[in-house]
Amino acid sequence: MDNSQATSAQNLILLGKGLAMNNKKGGNLKYVSLVSCIQSYNDLENMIKAMKVSDKDMEDWYGDKKVAKEMQGDQLEKAFHFGLVYLDVSNCALTNYAFKMKNLQKENDPKWPCFMHFLASPQLETVNMSNCKLTK
């Protein structure tokens, strides 16, 4: 993406959905660079949440809207689709995250942020988060 300026939150959501659709359709997109494109942790979190898509979402984007309207049950259930091997989010302002690791570790059944699930994706080999202002 163009890293001369930050990308809008809406475009990041569309990117997340596009990445999920690419993976769900068997696409080969494996490397993404978002250097200096993300303005906040919340924008990254919303992009990741958008990577959950359903069969209905696929039909809306690539098929027949009339067929999509009639879908129900399992066809409406969203699942996380992600195929990246490399993601570069360096120089992004990933501040203002609303969780504290030590608090989550104390809980018996913690609700981990989707960002943590994203980082734990088995195919994701490299995430460059340099200069993201993650420390206090």
pLDDT digit string (tens) for 35-71? 999 988 889 999 999 999 999 999 998 888 899 999 9
Q: Is residue 110 classed as helix, strand or coil in its secondary structure?
A: coil
The token duo for 43 is 């924008």
Q: Are 65 and 9 in contact (CB under 8 A)?
A: no
Neighbours of 38 (CB within 10 A): 22
Residue 1 falls within a domain, yes or no? no
> In this predicted structure, what is the pLDDT of residue 115?
79
Residue type (1 letter), 55: D
- CA-to-CA distance for 129 and 87, rounded, in angstroms? 9
pLDDT digits (tens, 9 = 90+) for 90-108: 998 887 666 677 777 787 7
In eight-state DSSP terms, residue 6 is P
Q: Which of 29-33, 68-72, 118-122 has the lowest mean pLDDT?
A: 118-122
* The token pair that represents 82 in the structure block: 């992600």
Range of the domain at 103: 9-128
Looking at residue 10, what is its pLDDT? 94
Per-residue pLDDT, 22 = 95
Q: Is residue 3 part of a domain?
A: no
**pLDDT at residue 2, as a whole number:** 54
In a domain, 133, yes or no: no
Domain count, the chain: 1
